[in-house]
Chains A and B, each alone.
Chain A
Amino acid sequence: EAGVTQFPSHSVIEKGQTVTLRCDPISGHDNLYWYRRVMGKEIKFLLHFVKESKQDESGMPNNRFLAERTGGTYSTLKVQPAELEDSGVYFCASSQEIGSLETQYFGPGTRLLVL
């Protein structure tokens, strides 16, 4: 079974540019999460999808970040325009269902560097 995949693995852009990150969850997983780790600090929650619906986007830093999950399959996270403080590692995770036994499985992350 394929795990969570993310593309690209690395991205280097200049301040003010746009970047789109993609996440493909494990097949059959309705729940998809985005997290971010900035400058070696804690990994922080950004948002949660159930199928194509946003359940919780309380962790999104500001309106420069837009997440979508068309058709309830893969998800994209767009940063427009990017700022220096957006640099970090963006992780995607998926899980089959919400509940006491739920485990979130993570992808390899996208390393974003904004210059």
Chain B
Amino acid sequence: AQSVAQPEDQVNVAEGNPLTVKCTYSVSGNPYLFWYVQYPNRGLQFLLKYITGDNLVKGSYGFEAEFNKSQTSFHLKKPSALVSDSALYFCAVRDRGDYKLSFGAGTTVTVRA
């Protein structure tokens, strides 16, 4: 079985400050990890993924995420948040050999000007 936990329902930061959205996962084997973002009235947009290799993954819009196997975490980060980053963020995991994504409950990010 595979599962994802996003421990924070909401994250509030000031524009220009670092942004971190937390995600921990549980899978039986080696994970494929994903971050998606949903802007208001829009669909889920793919941000980045970890498959193998370098633990630090860079994605769209200046976001990056770090895979930490010992802590089973895949936190999303952005060094300097923008107001336009305000959205709903979902972490997802897929076990290798599977195709179904398991999502967390989502974290609402609000960046204030």
Contact = CB atoms under 8 A, between A and B. Distances in A.
Contacts of A56: 99-100
Contact of A43 (B41, B46, B103): B103
A31 B100 CA distance: 11
A10 to B, nearest CB: 10
B100 A45 contact: yes
B99 A31 contact: yes
A91 B44 contact: yes
Contact of B99 (A35, A41, A44, A102): A102
B105 A42 contact: yes
Q: Say which size band chain A's interface belongs to.
A: 20 to 34
A44 B104 CA distance: 9
Nearest to B92: A43
A106 B51 contact: no
A88 interface: no
Contact of A42 (B46, B52, B96, B104): B104
Contact of B103 (A31, A44, A101): A44
Contacts of B89: none
A33 B104 CA distance: 18
A43 B96 contact: no
A56 B99 CA distance: 10
Interface of A: 3-4, 6, 31, 33, 35, 40-45, 48, 56, 59, 91, 93, 98, 100-109
